Each structure stands twice: as C-alpha cells, then as structure tokens.
Amino acid sequence: MVNLNPLNLISGSFRHGVHPQHLKVQTQDLPIQRVPFGSNYVMPLGQHIGVPCKPIVKKGQRVRRGEEIASASGFVSIALHSPVTGVVKEIGEFRTFDGNFSQAIEIEADAFSTQEPNIGPAIDWESMNIEQFIQAVQGAGIVGMGGAAFPAHVKFSIPEGQQIRYLLINGAECEPYLTNDHRLMLERPDALLKGAEIVRQKLGAEETVIGVELNKPEAIEALQARIQPGDPVRVVSLEAKYPQGAEKMIIKTVFGREVPAGQLPRDVEVNVNNVSTVVAIADYFDHGMPLIERIVTVSGPGVSYPANLIVPLGTPVREVLKFCGGLKDETMEVIMGGPMMGRPIASLDAPVVKGCSGILAFTEGQTLKRKEFPCIRCGRCVEACPYFLNPARFARLSRARMFGEMKGYFVFDCVECGCCAFACPSSIPIVQLIRTGKDQLRNTQASEK
C-alpha cells in the first residue's frame, strides 16, 4: 500500500505549512542534565488521553522509585509509577498546569532517594508475543511523548487483517525552541535504535524509517553512524517546515501518501512513534524503568539559563525553572509544550506531566498583544493550512455562530496546528474560534443523544 520511494522526498514534503523561525540555538548545543530531587511530587491520575488510572496505594504507604502507584483502568489507560522513593502523603485534588483541579497522588521524597537509572533487571522482550508486549508497554505507563500523551500501546494493537509495513520514527521536532528530541537523538542513538528495533519486531514491520528535519544535521549523522549495512533501518532527512512532525504530514512527506480522513496511519500500513517514545520503551525493557521522567527543554527569552533537562515527573514547574536560574522579571507568560501548539501554564506550582516536552517563558516583546483587524481575505491562512481547509471561513462562521456549516466544511479534520493564526496578518484568533465551533458541535451532538 505504501512505498518508500526516494522520489517522495525529492518532490518535497507535504504541501502548505509555515516556516517559523527555528529559535533552537539557545539550547541545541546544551547536553541533557538531570534535575535533582526536591521535596514533594504530585502525580495527576489523568496525565494521558483516555481514562484516568486508579490509585493502588494508601496514604502513608512507603513507595520505591519506579513502583506502580496507580493501575490502568481500561484499555485506553495506562499505569502510573512513583518517580521517587518516599511516602504517599496525600491522595486528593491538586492543581494542574491549566488551572483546574485533578485527582492526584502526592509523594514526599525520601531525603536519601537517588536517581538510579537501573530500576530492575532487563526484561526478555524477544520471547513475548504481541499481547504480552502491549500489556508490558501499558504497564510501563508509556505514552506518545510528542506532546499529545496518547497511550503508546493502543497504537500497537493492530486489528486482525491489517499489517504494518513501515515503522516511522518521528524525529522531526518541528516546533520552534524545542530541542529535547534533538539532544536525545544525539546523546542516546543506541537506545533509540534499540527501542525502534523492539517495536519493529513486535509489529512485524519490514523496515524502520527515522525522519529527522534538516536543521538537525548532527542528529542525522549520529544515527547514521550507528546503522550497520543490512540493518532494516534508514534515516531520511526532511525539510524543516511546520508541522512536519504531525503524524499525517510526516507520512505524506516520507511515503507520499495521504492518510484518508477519519482513518489511522495503520490503515496505510504505517506506525508512527516519537523518538522519545521508543527510547522510553528501550529503557523499560533494558533497565526496567517505567515512564517516571522525561526530557524537557526549558527555554525562551524569559528563562535565565536555558537547558535540556531530565525532569522527574511530578516536579513542580517552579522547581524546574528555579534550576534554570528562575524567571526574568519581565516574564509575562509561561507555556507548556512548543510555541505553536503548547498551552499556557496558569500555576507554576503545577507538576510536570508526561506530555510536557518544553517549558517556555516569554517576555513582553514575544507575548502577543497584537491588535486585531478585520479579515481582508488575503488567503494567507488558506495557503498555510496543511489540511487544505479554509480557516478564514471557519473563523467567520464561528463568529456568526453558524456551527453546523462549519461541520460541513470538515472542521473536525482540523488538528489545530496553528499555521493559520501564525500566518494571519490581521491577528484573528482563528484557532480559538475553530475550537469554539468544535466544542459547540460536540455539545449539541451530546445533548441530541
């Protein structure tokens, strides 16, 4: 169904999209550092997309680093583990980064807890069948680490009659500022290739393709240097263009094929995983380490000392920023994730979660307070939208509260990548208006049922 044809890459990447400044120089040459343990860790039960997990520990109970503290409740759910050795201090409502409250487990760290990477013995993955493998990944609490935090094992369960031909490892990292995947490819290429090989064998895919944007030549080199001739792995370089790392876009770029609307990559025989996800898988099978820490890029003009950090999950954002010299006085805004699709952080006391690829602080100059002007139908959003939708029309319909019409123009195909709002010279909040329309449509659909 899909073919890896070198012509795909010569003919260029997916069409449309935008070219924001890369802004990665601040952190791209900084080696990954570990953040030392603090005193308290808060682990929200709903860090992933899907059903929140169920606590299996009690208040006052001692837990070890890497010990399961909440188990998956259902298939689209994952386990949660303690990032630190210590005592369960509280199970209750805690503030999350978006300002809401969520059920979470708070752990008071033991003063002598260490960040030993070898948590358990290596796990024999070769003798596992696919069901056991899926269960293991679910039990390790691994999510897609690109930002959406969708449970990784769900993608690995392929319905009968379908097969995976290519495993596509996504190292595009198209969001400006972020360099966590870049550093990971550079510093841990062996773990990356190991994790990719595990997934490839378990899925029965023919070949692994690692896609990396051209603005990371060192990463491409580091990976290529470790690939032996005859290995079923190859690295392809991709044009640096946003949103190259969006799942359907990278498939279009590498294989020249569109995933039909409403379908999944597996319908075109491809499985896509972020580089950090396969490294997390390798860490689990090699060192028994579940997902209890992740690499976070701390950057932006509001941060005193930008860095790439290994942060134990549950660390308050404030502690991470303190490790980087704190926020500058003129900081106006702190966000989680990249600047194109990230979300604003309402409370700095909220913990770092599994989907947090970056913590960025912006000062007044970068914070958008641009004046909105009427739409002049310039069509820049139309030429930016990688899905070939008409964002200006969505914005107009949403303002007129004509949500039904929006559905007819495929508003649910929109992935909210932000290209349209980035390109708009009139500073119209197009993504917000589209989200409003989607929410209203979902509400009416729910009330009709």
Which span (161-169, 226-234, 281-289, 367-375) binds other proteins, by CB under 8 A? Answer: 367-375
Q: Is 327 in the site for other proteins (CB under 8 A)?
A: yes
DSSP class of residue 224 equals H
| Closest to other proteins by CB, 126 or 329 | 329
Query: How, if at all, do strands 62-63 and 86-95 pair?
Result: antiparallel
CB of residue 417 to other proteins, shortest distance in Å: 8
- In residues, how long is the chain? 449
- Residue 61 CA to residue 48 CA, distance in Å, equals 25
CA distances for 367 relative to 174, 330, 331, 445, angstroms: 20, 11, 9, 36
Output the smallest distance, CB 240 to other proteins, in A: 15
Among 45, 240, 320, 424, binds other proteins (CB under 8 A): 424
Cα-atom radius of gyration of the chain, to the nearest Å?
A: 22
Q: Which two tokens stand for residue 425?
A: 């010279």
Residues 87-106 that bind other proteins (CB under 8 A): 99
Q: Name the one range near other proteins by CB under 8 A: 81-89, 111-119, 289-297, 334-342.
A: 334-342
Say whether residue 426 binds other proteins (CB under 8 A): yes
By CB under 8 A, is residue 1 in contact with other proteins? no
Phi, psi of 297 (to 5 degrees): -90, 125
Backbone φ, ψ for residue 360 (5° rounding): -120, 140
343 interacts with other proteins by CB under 8 A: yes
Using CB under 8 A, which of the segments 105-113, 224-232, 350-358, 425-433 binds other proteins? 425-433
Q: Is 258 in the site for other proteins (CB under 8 A)?
A: yes
Q: Which 370-389 positions form the footprint of other proteins (CB under 8 A)?
A: 370-371, 373-379, 382-383, 386-389
Residues in contact with other proteins, shown as a per-residue x/- string from 163 to 192 under the rule CB under 8 A: -------------x----------------
CA-nearest of 291, 22, 380, 32 to 172 is 22
Q: Which amino acid is at 83?
A: P
CB of 365 to other proteins, least distance (A): 12
Residue 431 makes contact with other proteins by CB under 8 A: yes
- Percent helix, strand and coil across the chain, each to the nearest 5: 30, 20, 50
240 lines the binding site for other proteins (CB under 8 A): no
Residues 6+ apart with CB under 8 A from 134: 153, 156, 157
Nearer to other proteins by Cβ, of 186 and 421: the residue is 421
HSE-CB of 145 using CA atoms within 13 angstroms = 29
CB of 425 to other proteins, least distance (A): 5
The residue within the footprint of other proteins, chosen from 156, 323, 362, 403 (CB under 8 A), is: 362
Count of residues that interact with other proteins, criterion CB under 8 A: 67
CB nearer to other proteins: pick between 310 and 382: 382
Cα(234)–Cα(254) distance, integer angstroms: 12
What secondary structure letter does DSSP report for 151? Answer: B
Q: Which is nearer to other proteins, 77 or 180 (CB)?
A: 180
Query: Judged by CB under 8 A, which of 9, 18, 45, 352 binds other proteins?
Result: 18
How far is Cα 379 from Cα 376, in angstroms, rounded to an integer? Answer: 8
Q: Output the CA torsion 14→380→413→175 (10° steps).
A: 60
The reply on whether position 214 binds other proteins by CB under 8 A is no
30 to 69: interface string for other proteins, x by CB under 8 A? ----------------------------------------
Helix (H, G, I), strand (E, B) or coil at 217: helix
Q: Which two tokens stand for residue 317?
A: 């954002």
Q: What is the largest CA-CA distance in the chain?
A: 62
Q: In the complex, which residues of this chain contact other proteins (CB under 8 A)? A: 18, 20-21, 99, 176, 248, 252, 258-263, 327, 331-335, 337, 339-348, 360, 362, 366-368, 370-371, 373-379, 382-383, 386-390, 392, 409-410, 413, 416, 418, 421-427, 429, 431-432
